[in-house]
């Protein structure tokens, strides 16, 4: 099985890459921070640069994937950015657009180009990385919430479009997971521990999801055993239910 993961250098991306590799998959691990040329990392992982906002990059990546391994069986659209703690009325339009470029356009481009390559074989699975903030509003993260809400509808429209070709498209919605991205949310008086404790207090299980919990959810949705599941989004957040 050949799997492409975007945002692979980050906290969740690296756990997803490791989880697929542990299952015996060949993983094309991509990130904007990687060098242009493909680099092998052990037997099952190849690392290569991809800027998810750049359509030419996507075409070059898919060409390279087909040449080396064949069409991808699985794409995980995981790359994302989040700049928190900006008052709604102070949000610069460039920053708003950057969130949409990476989080929404990047997901759309990944779905588009994966579906084109998977369609001739009549199978494939795509997992998009939404967020709890795809469905919950956080006024100080308006650009992130809006761009992650778009990920859900892109998941559903892509699932409808690709279903007739045997391709499934689903999303996971992680709650807060202690990665570099989450720690960027600290308020002035916060430590890592106080931020985590505050967030844990909102979850039914009294704990946050780990990067490995998210990776397991991605593997579940991508697995052939989930053949009847498409167009859904799966929250993985320790039971973070507003009003519960």
Ligand X SMILES: NC(=O)c1ccc[n+]([C@@H]2O[C@H](COP(=O)([O-])OP(=O)(O)OC[C@H]3O[C@@H](n4cnc5c(N)ncnc54)[C@H](O)[C@@H]3O)[C@@H](O)[C@H]2O)c1
**Dihedrals φ, ψ of 50, to 5°?**
-150, 125
User: CA-based angle 74:9:148, to the nearest 5?
Assistant: 65
In order of 30, 92, 119, 203, the CA distances from 27 in angstroms are: 9, 37, 20, 33
Question: CA neighbours within 13 Å on the CB side: how many for 195?
Answer: 17
Q: Is 31 in the site for ligand X (CB under 6 A)?
A: yes
Q: Which of 29, 79, 114, 221 binds ligand X (CB under 6 A)?
A: 79
CA distance 155 to 129: 10
Q: Of the ranges 8-16, 87-95, 154-162, 189-197, which one interacts with ligand X (CB under 6 A)?
A: 8-16
Whether the CB-CB separation of 22 and 44 falls below 8 Å is answered with: no
Q: How many residues bind ligand X (CB under 6 A)?
A: 29
Minimum distance, C-beta of residue 145 to ligand X, in the bound complex (Å): 11
Site string for ligand X, 111-150 (x = CB under 6 A): ------------------x-x-------------------
Q: Of the ranges 6-14, 17-25, 68-76, 216-224, which one interacts with ligand X (CB under 6 A)?
A: 6-14
Q: Is 176 in the site for ligand X (CB under 6 A)?
A: yes
Segments of 96-137 assigned E as strands: 124-129
Dihedral, 49, 55, 60, 64 alpha carbons, nearest 10:
80
144 is catalytic: yes
Q: Is 80 in the site for ligand X (CB under 6 A)?
A: yes
Q: Is 218 in the site for ligand X (CB under 6 A)?
A: no
Q: Is 199 in the site for ligand X (CB under 6 A)?
A: no
Q: Of the ranges 21-29, 65-73, 75-83, 217-225, which one interacts with ligand X (CB under 6 A)?
A: 75-83
Question: CA neighbours within 13 Å on the CB side: how many for 244?
Answer: 10
Q: Which of 6, 203, 230, 240 binds ligand X (CB under 6 A)?
A: 6
Minimum distance, C-beta of residue 120 to ligand X, in the bound complex (Å): 26
Whether the CB-CB separation of 147 and 131 falls below 8 Å is answered with: no
Give bridge partners of residue 31 from the DSSP assignment.
Answer: 49
Residue of minimal CB distance from ligand X? Answer: 10
Per CB under 6 A, residues contacting ligand X are 6-7, 9-13, 31-33, 50-53, 78-82, 102, 129, 131, 174, 176-177, 179-182
Cite the active site residues. 144
């Amino acid at each position: 099985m050949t799997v492409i993961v975007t945002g692979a250098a980050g906290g969740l991306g690296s756990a997803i890459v490791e989880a697929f590799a542990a299952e015996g998959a060949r993983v094309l691990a991509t990130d904007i921070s990687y060098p242009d040329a493909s680099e092998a990392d052990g037997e099952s992982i190849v690392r290569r640069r991809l800027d998810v906002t750049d359509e030419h990059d996507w075409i070059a990546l898919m060409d390279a994937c087909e040449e080396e391994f064949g069409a991808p069986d699985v794409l995980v659209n995981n790359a994302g950015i989040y700049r928190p703690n900006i008052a709604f009325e102070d949000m610069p339009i460039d920053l708003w657009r950057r969130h949409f470029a990476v989080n929404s356009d990047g997901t759309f481009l990944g779905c588009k180009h994966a579906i084109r390559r998977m369609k001739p074989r009549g199978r494939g699975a795509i997992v998009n990385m939404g967020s709890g903030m795809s469905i919950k509003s956080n006024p100080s993260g308006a650009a992130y919430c809006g761009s992650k809400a778009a990920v859900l509808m892109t998941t559903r429209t892509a699932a409808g479009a690709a279903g007739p070709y045997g391709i499934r498209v689903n999303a996971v919605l992680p709650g807060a997971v202690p990665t570099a991205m989450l720690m960027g949310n600290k308020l002035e008086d916060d430590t890592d521990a106080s931020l985590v404790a505050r967030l844990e207090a909102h979850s039914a299980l009294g704990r946050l999801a780990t990067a490995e919990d998210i990776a397991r959810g991605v593997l579940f949705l991508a697995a052939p055993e989930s053949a009847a599941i498409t167009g859904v989004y799966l929250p993985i957040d320790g039971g973070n239910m507003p009003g519960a």
